[in-house]
C-alpha cells in the first residue's frame, strides 16, 4: 500500500526546520525542496508519491511544475489558492485513506480529516526521518522510571516539602 503525500509548499519552505537544513538561495527554494525530500528520504518508500502544491503560477519557462521523477513533483494552483487545490485533489481521489496532507494550516488539517484523508504537521513529516538518519540530534531521551523508583522519589519529596 503506497501513500500519496500532498504537501502545502509555502508552508514547508517557510518552516524553520527546512530553512535550517537547506541553502538560503530563495530563487531555487522549490527545486531545493524536492531535493531535500528526496535526499532525506522524507517520503519513506520510493513507491510513495509526493506532490507539493504552491500558490500561483510557475515562473516563466518552468512549465506547470518541477518534477523529480515519479517520486516527487511540484504543481502550481494557478488561478485558485493552494489550499483550494489541495482540497480538490483530496476530493477527487478514489482512495482518500492513503492520502497524507502535510501542512500546519488548521483549515487544511480540518478539511483532510473531514474528507477521510490523513493529516500530518510539518515537523511530524520532517523531524522523525531526519533523526532516524542522523541529520538532527535530538535531546537526550528522558529515562523511564519504574514504579518503585517513582515511589521512592515521591517519598523523598514528601519528606522535604510536606513537613
Q: Domain residues of the chain, as ranges?
A: 4-161
**pLDDT tens-digit readout, 7-34:** 999 999 888 888 887 776 656 788 888 8
- Say how far apart CA 104 and CA 13 lie, in whole Å: 12
Could you tell me the three cell numbers for 52? 507539493
**pLDDT tens-digit readout, 93-150:** 989 999 999 999 999 999 999 999 999 999 889 887 777 766 655 544 455 777 788 8
CATH topology (fold) of 4-161: Rossmann fold (3.40.50)
pLDDT of residue 134: 64
- Say how far apart CA 65 and CA 53 lie, in whole Å: 9
Amino acid at each position: 500500500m503506497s501513500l500519496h503525500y500532498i504537501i502545502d509548499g509555502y508552508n514547508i519552505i517557510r518552516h524553520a526546520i527546512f530553512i535550517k537544513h537547506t541553502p538560503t538561495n530563495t530563487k531555487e527554494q522549490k527545486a531545493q525542496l524536492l531535493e531535500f525530500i528526496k535526499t532525506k528520504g522524507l517520503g519513506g518508500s520510493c513507491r510513495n508519491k509526493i506532490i507539493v502544491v504552491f500558490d500561483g503560477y510557475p515562473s516563466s519557462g518552468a512549465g506547470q511544475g518541477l518534477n523529480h521523477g515519479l517520486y516527487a513533483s511540484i504543481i502550481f494552483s494557478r488561478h485558485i489558492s493552494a489550499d483550494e487545490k489541495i482540497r480538490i485533489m483530496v476530493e477527487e481521489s478514489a482512495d482518500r485513506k492513503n492520502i497524507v496532507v502535510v501542512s500546519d494550516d488548521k483549515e487544511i488539517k480540518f478539511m483532510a480529516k473531514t474528507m477521510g484523508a490523513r493529516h500530518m504537521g510539518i515537523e511530524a513529516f520532517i523531524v522523525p526521518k531526519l533523526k532516524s538518519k542522523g541529520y538532527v540530534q535530538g535531546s537526550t531521551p528522558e529515562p523511564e522510571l519504574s514504579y518503585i523508583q517513582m515511589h521512592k522519589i515521591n517519598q523523598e519529596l514528601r519528606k522535604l516539602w510536606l513537613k
